[in-house]
Each structure stands twice: as structure tokens, then as C-alpha cells.
Structure 1
Amino acid sequence: MPLHVAIIMDGNGRWARNRGWPRLVGHRRGAERVKQIVKACPDLGVSHLTIYAFSTENWKRSTEEVLGLMTLFSRYIEREAEGLNAEGVRMRFIGDRAPLDGRLRRLMDGIEARTCGNDRLNLTVAINYGGRNELMRAARKLAEAAAQGVLTPEAITEETLAAALDTADLPDPDLVIRTSGETRISNYLLWQSAYAEYEFTGTLWPDFSPAELGTILDRFALRDRRFGAVKA
């Protein structure tokens, strides 16, 4: 079974539109689905779950939707902090926090500190995250270190680059799942998912159940992962 599952939670807007409801209703229902998936992961053998909540490209959406999402993130943290901590979930965030609202950043810092000792499930939420943006920020860190004489260009390896990423203390994902029927990775964990297995499901995120996750994990268990090698 995969230890680390990463999910592109897609389809909230379409789920709501299909019912004649505003997109934000779909996002709220999607947040409820997150709770169910988080609760199911430890029993399914998943120790790390990373979810794509808001990309660097999502700022292009309407002001109403962006503000609604930011409010939803804040409310989720406030309402779920106690429950997540009680269930042994460690919550952390990846992405560029600088453009985010100060209150949201404080809530993010607070729940990270509150849950840092938990290890039943490592929940990572990608907010204002983009794989290219992450690689750019990592390259900038290494360039600054080189300019200061702390690091020589020859000392830059795959390991030093990985250590400069937002996910430096996380294992690479074994499995990446995208819901809603789209078959692209949308700038998600570009470096980390180099050898991940992929699953694309037509299910819209608000309808994605723990049972479907379990079925996908069972299929993953049957895959032959060689990481570029050939069996003798």
C-alpha cells in the first residue's frame, strides 16, 4: 500500500453547477469530504496525505470565489483544529504564504504548532502552491547560498535541491489521484511525483468516498514499481 497519497481535489464547481447551486456550495461540500478522507486514511494504511487546495493559478478566478475559498480555509482550520489534534493528525502547509491574508497565515502557523507532535496521519495542505513556483523559490535559495559563499555550484545535487523544497521533510508521494475526469497534473508536486503512480477518476471530489479510495489503493497494490530498473 502507498504510504503517501497526494490528491488533486477537482470538481467542486461542477458538482455544484450540476445541481444549480453556486460554486462555493461545492467547495463547502468538498471540505466536508476532506474530513471523511482524512479520517479514513490511517485505517487504509496511508500515513501521509497531501491535498491540493489552492494553486498559484487559482487567483485568476473571480474575486468572490477566491475570497470565499480563503474564508473557507480559515473556518476549516478553526473548526477542525481540536478534532484533528485529538485524532493524532499532524497538519502542515506547503506553498507561498506571502500573498495570503495575515489572519489565515496566523491560523496556519497555529495549527502547525499545535499538531506538530502527532504522527497517526501527516496531512499536508497545498495553498497558493505551484510546482514551478516551488522550484523557482528553491533555486533562489540555493543561488543566494552560492552567492554568499555558503554553497558552491558543484555542491548542488538532487538532494540539496530536494532539501530546499517545501516538502523537504516529507517522503515523495507513491500515488497521485485526480478526481473529476481531468487527466492533467496541473503543476502539482512536479519534482516529488517523478516516480509516483497516477490514478484519474471521473468522480467529482464531493462524491469521492473512502470506499473509492480503498478500491484505488487495492489497484495500486497490484502495480509493479521498478523505478527505472529491470527485474532479473
Structure 2
Amino acid sequence: MTTTAATIDKSSSRVRRMFGEIAPRYDFLNHLLSMNVDRYWRWRTVRKVKPVANGGPILDVCTGTGDLAIAFDKAAHGKLPIVAADFCPEMLELGEVKSRRRGSDHRIDFVEGDTENLPLPDNEFQIVSVAFGLRNVADTDRGLAEMTRCCKPGGKVAVLEFTTPRYQPMKGLYGWYFRNVLPRIGQVLMRNNSAAYEYLPESVGKFLQYEELTERMEAAGLKNVRFYPMTFGIATLYVGEKP
């Protein structure tokens, strides 16, 4: 998936507008286009990064409609407060409805906030997570620094993100699907003028992967950073600890 950096406009206004437009069918398309495997990736994440009882609250940034925040709520058996932050109000509204339907709205606090400048205190959260959203943050280093700032000493920062499989034939099949199939299905179903599902393969192809993102997380002040590829490397979970 080769692109040039100039083809990807990750300005906050453009990304916010784009996700606001696709918000009403965002969950449906994510599950359809991943054949529901995205649910499994979140399931793996909350088991790899287990909440600790009485360990403090959890923060999920770029939360979208709150799927990972809700997964952490389930993993914590509803016993921990969770903050779900995003800069797209349309996504947050849908997340609040979803949370209310499952009875977790009194535990999950949906907050409008940009990951580059989170309106949250230092050293507060036992887990700070992001799922499929870090690549949409214009300044990756700033986003990681903010996530680390909000994490408690001894806590964990978890990044779940799409990656390009490293080995054939999956690498070739994945690239073909992302370039040719996903954008067309997405645009037919969404009729989205912002071309969100053309942006997706571009943003994945150009984003930091594997050792590169590990190094950025270490530069943000995290230690013992490890990554765990899932489903042949289509998605990867990165986990680091705050000293």
C-alpha cells in the first residue's frame, strides 16, 4: 500500500468532519467489513491488558462509539469508572446511547476531547487505551505523550491498531482488499463524500507499525513495550508500562 504523505490530510477539522458524517453507520460497517473480527480484537485486548480491581479508573481515547470502553467495562464487571474521550460529538452521542442501552451509562463518562490535548489530569488512570484511532491523530508523538501523561505510574498504555501483514500470501491479499474492495463497499453503503473508506487504507499504509511504533511509545516515556500481532498481522496490540 504505497502512498505519499501529501495524499493524507489528517487535520483535526477534516478528520472530525469525516467521522461525523459516517457516525450513524460506523459500527455496522466496521463489523461488516471486518466480518466481526474487530469484536475479537477488542476481546483479546481487554484480556491482555486486564483491569485491576481498585486500581483506579480507565481512559479510552479516540473512543468513537465506545466499543473498547464498553469492553473494558465488561472485563471490570462494571466495578470501575471509565472515561471515553473523542473529539467527534456525533460519535460520542451514539456511544452514550449504546452505553445507556446496556446499563453502563453511570460508569462510562463520555467526554469531548482531542487526544493531542486531553482535558484530563496527570497520573490518573490505570489503563489508557486507544483502538484504531491513533493513526487519525495528526501528531502521533503528541497523542502518545498525552496518553502517557494521564496514565498512573505503574499503569499501562495500550494501542490497538491496524497493521499490514508481513508475510505472503496474506500481505498481498490484505493489500488488495484494502485498496480495491473496502473503499468501494464503504462508499456504496455510506455515500460519503469525504471518502472515509479511501482514507482508511491510506492512513493504515502510512502509519507507524511494529518496531517503529514501539520506539515512539518508548520515546513517550513508556517501558517494556511489546507488540502482539493478531489475525495474521491484520491488527496489532502494543502495550507499554509507565515507570
What is the TM-score when the length of structure 1 is the normalising length? 0.33
Higher relative contact order (CA 8 A, sep 6+): 1
What is the TM-score when the length of structure 2 is the normalising length? 0.32
Give the number of the structure whose alpha-carbon radius of gyration is greater.
Answer: 1
Question: Of Structure 1 and Structure 2, which has the larger fraction of its residues in strand?
Answer: 2
